[in-house]
Structure 1
Amino acid sequence: MQLLWRAINEPTPGPKWAGIFQEYWPDYHRWWLKAGAEARPTYWDSLQALNTHMPELVPLYEQLCELSGGSDHAARFLSFYCPPPYLSGCSQAIWPGKEPVLVRNYDYHPKAFDSLILRTEWQGRKIVGTSDGLWGLVDGMNDAGLAVSLTFGGRRVVGDGFGVPLILRYVLQTCETAEEAGEALARVPTHMSYNVTVVDAKRRFLTALMAPDRPTQITHAAVATNHQEKVEWASHARFTATVERERFLLQRLTLHVEPEEKFVSAFLKPPLYSSAFNEGFGTLYTAVYRPRLGQMEIKWPKATWQLDLNDFEEGQRAIYTPELERP
């Protein structure tokens, strides 16, 4: 299977974003409706939740709702409030060298993925990252030198809260340091369990263990895979090898500091790199963020795409994954 990746730059919400919305909306709409519209919060409830927990985003949200065409379903979807549940794999870690570097693998179903790198200057803040849900992010960095990334937390519980990609967007729009990010992550409710790793320009870092049914724990962990303090969903843990991946990364952190290139290359091979594409948990990409420098890379086993927050070039890459063709 071939995935067409695109890198798009639009400083303020406009025709490029509107075009992306129209392209992706039919598939997102079907996903959002899979349990029926009545299973999702109303527009009023969604707006009130945003006003309560992420008020700084409300003007931007209203702009995007207008650009999307202003339908009730689109506005409710774009709020990210209590979306349908979804699962992913993923591994992430902070390189132990002096330069702040966040590395992550994103393991997810290729047919439910935006394959879009979006650079914006919404509300005066430069941000670049991997899009999800058309304005949410599964990883990214801002012009203050803050980088964030998420992994699924390995728990079945679903509750009242936001889809975590919008929470990452909120952190990057409003925070400049790891400490500020931790405060935001501890405050905003999430609808499922996620581990969010943050590093800032001074290499201060944390991992927030977020859940809908218990307070967020802010830890000093430099590694996150797909469980929190302990494994709570044994079959998911076995299938995704979350414990094995965590141990592998912790060993790399506790031994001598290896060169950045060698540390990054480990994400492109087992046990971190997953070939379980047909089961929905294959590694779709490896992302490398150097937030102090404003640099990012999207990597695959046979390709690398270098991007710069301050000298961003739009473009596209066709990435062929032979494992997807196997029965």
Structure 2
Amino acid sequence: MKKIYSDIRQFRGSHYDFGFYQGEELKNSPIIKNRTKQWKTRKARFIIDERSVKEALGPFAPRIWDELAGLRDGLGWTIDDVLKEFGGYRLEYVRSGCSIFTNTDYMIRNYDYHPRTYEGRLMIYQPNDGGYAVIGPSQRITGRMDGMNEKGLAMGYNFIHRKKPGDGFICNMIGRIILERCASVKEAVAMLKEIPHRHSFTYTVLDKNGVTYVVEATPRGVEEYQSNVCTNHFELLKHENRHHLADSYKRMQAINESKGNVTDKYQAFRMMNDLDKGVFSDDYRNWSGTIHTSGYFPKEGKVWFALGGNREPVIFDFKKWMSGERITTTRILGQVDTDLPFAHMY
């Protein structure tokens, strides 16, 4: 078993200052060193164009460009290098797992991926220059793989495939834009229909009204439907599915068979996080081991978070943080059954 951790970072201020703060913090970190090492062994399959990225962000989240500029100055990099790593536009993405279960009061999400990509950063950010405050784990620094905003909108995405990519944003930047710019499920669905998608993913969204929508998004089209279970296959855009879906259907079946016995939020969390329930995965070498389980409670304004399986969640009161109270916890501890290295650990 490997002991792992996620650091908690809290910031209130402008997007530029947030970017500069992160750049200074990350400058000599394992995350940057590991990312630099990865580019020595693989070739970029995309084109970085500063003007295109800035124009693409403009209609959806223009202030994120300021955050990228802050990262550039904090790291002492060129803007091209920042966009290659953190721009969130026209980048490749490899396969992963992930499972989501919701009801009217919560979203419980298992994030399944390869350890070497995991940054171990739970970000809590309140901008003062536009956009909603958001709590959620980072992916590629500027992106969010799941989270909840001050309006009570919760979001998580699940990988489908990266065949036939288009010019557009990758999943984690789309997640960040949704959380920072949308106040409701209705607004999130509308945004997902408008924003350009690089790859094919599902986005599950829940707000204080208690209705969950799953949005199936590809570079070629977007469809939505109501459901409280989502894994790694499309239900509507079936022609877009991968050929090997046994694991996705297996996890969906495990949730559907167990959810009838779930009577409260803690049991829901246990269904997703316990090693013996059939949803939590330890297949880390194949890019689909569960690294964290997160719980978002829009009506309460609280977040639960656990690293690894069979863990009790660390509880954050986001509503109190929004009223000015600082979170005193600085690190979340956990363990996973793998010897693979994590991006944020030496």
2:328 to 313, 316, 320: 313
* 8 A Cα contact 2:258 2:271, kept in partner: no
For 2:184 and 2:60, the matched residues in 1 are separated by 19
Indicate how the Cα distance of structure 1 residues 119 and 78 shifts in structure 2: closer, same or farther if over 3 A, else same.
Answer: same
Indicate how the Cα distance of structure 1 residues 82 and 233 shifts in structure 2: closer, same or farther if over 3 A, else same.
Answer: same
TM-score (norm 1): 0.88
Q: Does 1:90 align with 2:101?
A: no
> Which residue pairs with 2:344 in the alignment?
none
> Which residue pairs with 2:72 in the alignment?
65
* 8 A Cα contact 1:120 1:128, kept in partner: yes
CA displacement at 1:53 relative to structure 2: 5.0
Matches within 5 A, 1:16-165: 16-22=21-27, 23=29, 24-31=31-38, 35-36=42-43, 39-51=46-58, 54-55=61-62, 57-71=64-78, 72-95=80-103, 98=104, 100-122=105-127, 123=129, 125-154=132-161, 156-165=163-172
Indicate how the Cα distance of structure 1 residues 257 and 267 shifts in structure 2: closer, same or farther if over 3 A, else same.
Answer: closer
Indicate how the Cα distance of structure 1 residues 60 and 304 shifts in structure 2: closer, same or farther if over 3 A, else same.
Answer: same
For 1:256 and 1:266, the matched residues in 2 are separated by 9
For 2:48 and 2:39, the matched residues in 1 are separated by 11
What residue identity is the alignment partner of 2:338?
A: L
Matches within 5 A, 1:220-259: 220-229=226-235, 230=238, 232-235=241-244, 237-238=245-246, 241-253=247-259, 255=260, 258-259=263-264
What residue identity is the alignment partner of 1:218?
A: E
What secondary structure sits across from 1:216 in the alignment? Answer: strand
> Which residue pairs with 1:6 in the alignment?
7
* 8 A Cα contact 2:99 2:279, kept in partner: yes
1:301 to 290, 296, 310: 310
> Which residue pairs with 1:219 in the alignment?
225
Indicate how the Cα distance of structure 1 residues 271 and 35 shifts in structure 2: closer, same or farther if over 3 A, else same.
Answer: same
Indicate how the Cα distance of structure 1 residues 167 and 186 shifts in structure 2: closer, same or farther if over 3 A, else same.
Answer: same
Indicate how the Cα distance of structure 1 residues 307 and 16 shifts in structure 2: closer, same or farther if over 3 A, else same.
Answer: farther
Indicate how the Cα distance of structure 1 residues 20 and 271 shifts in structure 2: closer, same or farther if over 3 A, else same.
Answer: farther
* 8 A Cα contact 1:42 1:76, kept in partner: no
Unaligned runs of 5+ in 2: 341-346
TM-score (norm 2): 0.83
Indicate how the Cα distance of structure 1 residues 155 and 37 shifts in structure 2: closer, same or farther if over 3 A, else same.
Answer: closer
For 1:164 and 1:251, the matched residues in 2 are separated by 29
Indicate how the Cα distance of structure 1 residues 176 and 291 shifts in structure 2: closer, same or farther if over 3 A, else same.
Answer: same
- Superimposed CA distance per residue, residues 160-182 of structure 1 (whole angstroms, 9 cap, x where no aligned partner): 21111111111111111100011
For 1:47 and 1:14, the matched residues in 2 are separated by 16
What secondary structure sits across from 2:282 in the alignment? Answer: coil
Indicate how the Cα distance of structure 1 residues 313 and 88 shifts in structure 2: closer, same or farther if over 3 A, else same.
Answer: farther
* Structure 1 stretch displaced more, 275-284 or 63-72: 63-72
For 1:316 and 1:180, the matched residues in 2 are separated by 33
* 8 A Cα contact 1:90 1:107, kept in partner: yes
> Which residue pairs with 2:338 in the alignment?
324
For 2:284 and 2:293, the matched residues in 1 are separated by 15
* 8 A Cα contact 1:43 1:76, kept in partner: no
- Superimposed CA distance per residue, residues 268-327 of structure 1 (whole angstroms, 9 cap, x where no aligned partner): 234100011233211111101112222111124134211222243341133222x2149x
* 8 A Cα contact 2:166 2:198, kept in partner: yes
Indicate how the Cα distance of structure 1 residues 70 and 282 shifts in structure 2: closer, same or farther if over 3 A, else same.
Answer: same
CA displacement at 1:112 relative to structure 2: 1.2
* 8 A Cα contact 2:24 2:74, kept in partner: no
* Structure 1 stretch displaced more, 164-173 or 224-233: 224-233
What secondary structure sits across from 1:301 in the alignment? Answer: coil
What secondary structure sits across from 2:136 in the alignment? Answer: strand
